[in-house]
């Protein structure tokens, strides 16, 4: 994660930014001052509640019932229960599958492909298609979930389409619930990757790809050896962001399948929500959320490694 200072600016005293290891605290503080608003916002509104949540995961806090009155500190019991819970391994696996298939493969590759095509295509086509892709993303969560449900359910759009070419209807939400929510999430989330990649590709100086083109490098090779390395950071960052977003996807799944049938699409957020809000076991639900943070951390570490490798 090197900050981009490959060329060192000539520094005039008291004007430009200096180099990191300056001995004088004063200037260090001056440099970090711009961070203050962000730190304040994060400190008050996120750090506090998160620390509180982590603490809560060691209690039997509940929304209702006896434990709502005076929650007890029970140590790591919630975590012990979680690892004994027969539903946990399944939810864990479904979450990883969901993230991998819908974000890392689906949204990411489709987003990159769309961004590249948009660069090549006629302006009008590119603009219209961009709007189509983005339309799925700007729909409010709950609406997108209904639209996806209407698309996949037994008498829905998809089966009506396949029927026109003589394919027997498939009950997607019952027979392939994971496939349905993965496709729905790709449909919903690709726009984000597309926009990130469009912005990243815009930053690639045209001279570089132009000169390569003149030198006759084939399209795919040029992409692989020149363009992709140049937007490597965007790829890693995008992967990280969509992974973390997809880890937390809840409404889409809840509306489409409610985690069913037989928990076959109950990812960790669904499990956490049910425990915390449906069964009011706040402590247990929070413990699941903490586990999700750890999973996110694992993914993030992998991406950071990827960034560093080269």
Q: Which of residues 269-308 bind other proteins (CB under 8 A)?
A: 269, 272-274, 276-280, 282, 285-286, 288-289, 292-293, 295-297, 300, 304
Name the minimum Å distance from CB 77 to other proteins: 13
Binding mask 85-124 for other proteins (x = CB under 8 A): -------------------------x---x--xxxxxxx-
The closest of 107, 165, 103, 65 to 296, measured between CA atoms, is 103
Name the minimum Å distance from CB 191 to other proteins: 9
Range 209-214, long-range pairs (CB < 8 A, 24+ positions):
none
Candidate ranges 27-35, 72-80, 89-97, 100-108; the one touching other proteins (CB under 8 A) = 27-35
Closer by beta carbon to other proteins, 97 or else 296: 296
Q: If binding is defined by CB under 8 A, does position 73 make contact with other proteins?
A: no
Closer by beta carbon to other proteins, 17 or else 75: 17
- 280 sits in the region (left: phi over 0; alpha: psi -120 to 50; else beta) called left
Closer by beta carbon to other proteins, 76 or else 261: 261
The closest of 253, 274, 240 to 179, measured between CA atoms, is 253
Query: The tokens of 271 are what?
Result: 């499990």
Dist CA 258 CA 253 (whole Å):
6
Dist CA 199 CA 51 (whole Å):
35
Residues 180-219 that bind other proteins (CB under 8 A): 187, 190, 192, 195-196, 198-203, 205-208, 211-219
The closest of 201, 212, 196 to 119, measured between CA atoms, is 201
Dist CA 254 CA 205 (whole Å):
44
Name the minimum Å distance from CB 269 to other proteins: 5
Name the minimum Å distance from CB 178 to other proteins: 15
Residues 145-184 that bind other proteins (CB under 8 A): 146-151, 153-157, 160-161, 171, 173-175
Q: From residue 33, how far is each of 27, 29, 38 by CA, in Å?
A: 10, 6, 10
Candidate ranges 72-80, 89-97, 101-109, 131-139; the one touching other proteins (CB under 8 A) = 131-139
Name the minimum Å distance from CB 252 to other proteins: 11
Q: Please give the distance of CA 43 from its chain centroid, rounded to a whole number.
A: 22
Dist CA 29 CA 33 (whole Å):
6
Binding-site member from 96, 223, 241, 302 for other proteins (CB under 8 A) = 241
The closest of 178, 184, 193, 192 to 98, measured between CA atoms, is 178
Dist CA 71 CA 52 (whole Å):
14
Q: If binding is defined by CB under 8 A, does position 246 make contact with other proteins?
A: no
Give the 3-state secondary structure of residue 288. Answer: helix
Q: If binding is defined by CB under 8 A, does position 72 make contact with other proteins?
A: no
Q: If binding is defined by CB under 8 A, does position 24 make contact with other proteins?
A: no
Name the minimum Å distance from CB 100 to other proteins: 15
Name the minimum Å distance from CB 12 to other proteins: 7
Dist CA 129 CA 25 (whole Å):
52
Name the minimum Å distance from CB 166 to other proteins: 19
């Amino acid at each position: 994660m090197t900050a981009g200072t490959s060329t060192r600016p000539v520094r005039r005293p008291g004007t430009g930014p200096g180099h990191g290891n300056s001995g004088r605290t004063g200037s260090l503080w001056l440099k970090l001052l711009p961070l203050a608003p962000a730190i304040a916002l994060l400190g008050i509104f996120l750090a506090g509640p998160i620390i509180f949540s982590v603490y809560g995961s060691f209690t039997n806090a509940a929304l209702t019932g006896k434990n709502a009155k005076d929650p007890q500190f029970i140590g790591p019991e919630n975590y012990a229960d979680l690892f004994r819970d027969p539903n946990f391994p399944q939810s864990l696996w479904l979450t990883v599958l969901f993230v991998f298939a819908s974000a890392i493969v689906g949204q990411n590759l489709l987003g990159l492909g769309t961004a590249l095509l948009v660069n090549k295509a006629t302006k009008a086509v590119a603009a219209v298609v961009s709007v189509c892709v983005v339309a799925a993303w700007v729909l409010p969560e709950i609406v997108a979930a209904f639209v996806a449900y209407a698309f996949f359910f037994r008498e829905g759009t998809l089966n009506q389409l396949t029927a026109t070419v003589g394919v027997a209807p498939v009950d997607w939400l019952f027979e392939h619930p994971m496939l349905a929510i993965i496709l729905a999430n790709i449909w919903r989330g690709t726009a984000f990757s597309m926009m990130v990649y469009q912005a990243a590709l815009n930053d690639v100086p045209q001279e570089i790809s132009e000169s390569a083109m003149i030198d006759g490098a084939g399209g795919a090779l040029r992409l692989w050896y020149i363009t992709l390395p140049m937007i490597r950071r965007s790829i890693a960052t995008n992967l990280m962001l969509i992974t973390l977003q997809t880890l937390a996807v809840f409404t889409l799944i809840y509306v489409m399948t409610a985690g069913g049938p037989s928990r076959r699409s109950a990812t960790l957020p669904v499990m956490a929500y049910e425990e915390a809000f449906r069964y009011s076991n706040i402590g247990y639900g929070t413990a699941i959320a903490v586990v999700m943070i750890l999973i996110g951390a694992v993914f993030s570490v992998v991406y950071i490694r990827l960034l560093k490798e080269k």
